[in-house]
Structures are given as C-alpha cells and as structure tokens.
Amino acid sequence: MKKLIDYTWDDRNNLILRYTYTFMPKGILTRLIVETHPWIEQQKLVWKNGVVLNKDQTRAEIIENYNQREIKIRVAGNRTKELMAVITHELEKIHNSYERLQYQTLVPCNCETCKNLPTPYSYSLEKLNKRLNAGRYQIECENSYEMVDVRRLIDNVMLQDIRADGELKPQVTQLQSELEQQREESLKQHLKDSNQKEVFISYTWRDQQSKPLVEKIEQAFQAKGIKIIRDTNAIGYKGRFKEFMQRLSRSTCVILVISDQYLKSPNCMFELVQIAKNEEFGDRIFPIVLPDAQIYEATDRLKYVEYWENKVQELDAALKKVSAANLDGFREDIDLYAEIRQYLPRLANILKDMNTLTPDIHSQSDFEELLNAIAQRLDE
Ligand SMILES: [Zn+2]
C-alpha cells in the first residue's frame, strides 16, 4: 500500500496483531487516533488510514485496510507489549460501542518457518484462548505443521494476568493510565484555547500618531496576559473580509483608534461598518479618539460625510471612462463608499457620545481605565 507520509520502520522483533471484521464500520481508526492522539509521532505521522504512535522510544504503526476489512498493528521498541496492550484496550472500547460487531483478533504464528515470512500463518485469539481453557497447550501451524506453544502465542502479543479461575485477562498498565491522563490534559488545554478571548484593535498605520499608541496599548495588555490582535491593514478589505469577520465574531472587544486618517480610510471604515452591523455595537467598542479626528462638532462631522460623498462621485465619474468589462472591482468600491457614507453620521454620533479619554490620559495611566473596562467585558 502506498504511504502518504514517509517514515522509516525497523521491522525486527515487531509485535504484530491484526483485526479482521465481518462488516467493518467506518471510522474505527479515526476514533482510535482521537483516543491516542497525545502519542502521535511528532504530532505529524497521521494520515487517512494510518498513524504512527511513539511513546518512550516504542513505536506503533496502525494501518486500516478498509477494503480488506482489517486493522493491522505493528509495535517495535522497548515496551512493545505495554504499548500493544494500550492500543488493544482502546480498540476494545471502540469495538464495544458497536452493537453486534463481529471481528477476529489474529495472532501471527511464531514457528521457525513463519518467523521469516512476510505473511505468517495466523491464529484467532479467541480460539487460542478456548484451546488453552480446554487444557490444549499446543496447536499445529498450517504452514509448517510444527506444533506451537499456545500460551507463548498469546503471551507474545498480550500482557496477561491469570485470574483465579484460570482465565486470562489483559492488564491495565501504567502506560494506559498515562495515556488517559495526557488525554484529559490535552482536552483541558483545548477548551482553554477555544475559550480564550481576543481583543481586536482597529486603526490605521498611515497615521503617524496611531502606530506608537497601538504599540503601547499592545504592551500594556500583553503585560496583563490579554492578547491583542492587530492588523496592519496591509491587504485590501476585500481579501480580508472573511478573515476579519471570523476574527471579529470571536472577539468580544474592539479597540478603535480613531484619527482623521481612520475616518478617511476605506479599510478602516469597512471594519467599522462591519462592527456596527453586529449586535451590541456600543458594548463591544472601546474608542480612543485622536485630536485630529473631528467628530465633536456637527459641522466637522459633516465634512467626513462630504468626503465620502465626493469619493463616490469621483469614482462614479472615473467609471464612465472605463469599459464595461473592467467594471467589477469598481462597483464594489462604489458600494462600499456609499455604505460608509450612509453609516457615517450614525457612527460619528455614537463615537462622540461615548465617554472617551484623550490618548494622553490613556498613556499616562498606562491604559488602566481601558484595561479595566475590557477586562470587565471579557469576564462577562
Ligand atoms: Zn507457523
């Protein structure tokens, strides 16, 4: 079978076990991979129908051949039996979750002839156990007709405890509890990561005042362990739209650094309009208004409306000179500018009514008030 991922395998002294299924449900291997994922080699050696686990210098290769309805396990290294025991234990749990799943566990023969064969004769584990219970300690290999020790066949692949009634049962090992512990930890970490809240910052790098301010904010927040997502507005708004919206939907808070340039930037205003379209706009935004952003006087606010109206007209005029085939990109720009123009009076109104501190006061207090307000919002 073709391997999708390249790796080396030492096939000396391997423990080998095969499972064959009468009917093979889809997803057995996937579930096994989920259960054993803390041990995936370099967290990389995993593909659609196989995985290589590595634990304490012991490796296990598990391959699913769906068409042949089988799962094949090879284990090599120092603690082969223990690792095999963990894998079979995990598989057992998965098997038990299916109703009436019919399968066979196949143990390879260890006679002199079979030892060197790529496909040795194999015995059903169930039948070996039955035989042992009936006091038959040997079985004939169908390849070599040699008599083989039943207990050694079983013992080769399984860690066993002999119960009082003489029956064999697989041992739950130290390694097993280690896996369970690691699994729990990785789940906790995963939950923590997905719950981690982000603070988004919207600003324009074109502005000389904004950038150093943003850097200071970033440092102050980092010191408190709050991650700030900032964006250099390097890619056009169209390219960033999806990514931005995805991020934003996760972010509870958005710091806005509003400058004159910000109010004139298509990228920034695009972001602001998107945020405004979301619910709880007022609760989510934390504006810092730079002195050159003139939003406090009605006549000044009108200048920005005028600015965007002119933009629409300019573009509209330019459009008339362009052939119809090239109109697509321009159309989007016009739509955006028109949307900005439409939202701007309302946005500027909200911003001016918000009780914002000046950038100086923010800086002097090391953004204490901003931090407190955002920390409170993140805790909700
Ligand atoms: Zn044999």
For 345, the token pair is 């009076």
Strands (E), 122-280: 122-124, 138-140, 147-149, 160-162, 168-170, 199-202, 228-230, 253-258
pTM above 0.75, yes or no: no
CA of 141 to the centre of ligand 1 (A): 5
Are domains 15-178 and 196-379 of this chain identical in fold?
A: no
CA of 140 to the centre of ligand 1 (A): 8
Reported as a single tens digit per residue, the pLDDT across 306-349 is: 999 999 898 888 888 777 666 666 777 888 888 899 888 888 88
For the chain, how far is it from start to end, CA to CA, in angstroms? 53
Strands 46-47 and 50-55: antiparallel
CA of 16 to the centre of ligand 1 (A): 14
CA of 297 to the centre of ligand 1 (A): 94
According to DSSP, residue 27 is labeled T
Percent of the chain residues past pLDDT 90, beyond the cut: 32
Can you tell me the distance from the alpha carbon of 326 to that of 315, in angstroms, rounded to the nearest whole number? 13
Can you tell me the distance from the alpha carbon of 272 to that of 260, in angstroms, rounded to the nearest whole number? 14
Can you tell me the distance from the alpha carbon of 139 to that of 122, in angstroms, rounded to the nearest whole number? 11
Q: Are 64 and 87 in contact (CB under 8 A)?
A: no
CA of 146 to the centre of ligand 1 (A): 7
CA of 104 to the centre of ligand 1 (A): 18
CATH topology of domain 196-379: Rossmann fold (3.40.50)
In the chain, where are the structural domains located? 15-178, 196-379
| Residue of 192, 195, 189 lying closest to 38 (CA atoms) | 189
| Mean pLDDT, residues 48-77 | 95
CA of 172 to the centre of ligand 1 (A): 29
How many residues are listed for the chain in this entry? Answer: 380
Residue written as token pair 């910052």: 201
Could you say which of 3.30.420.40, 3.40.50.300, 3.30.310.200, 3.30.56.10 is the CATH number of the domain covering 15-178?
Answer: 3.30.310.200
Reported as a pLDDT band with limits 50, 70 and 90, residue 1 is very low
CA of 119 to the centre of ligand 1 (A): 10
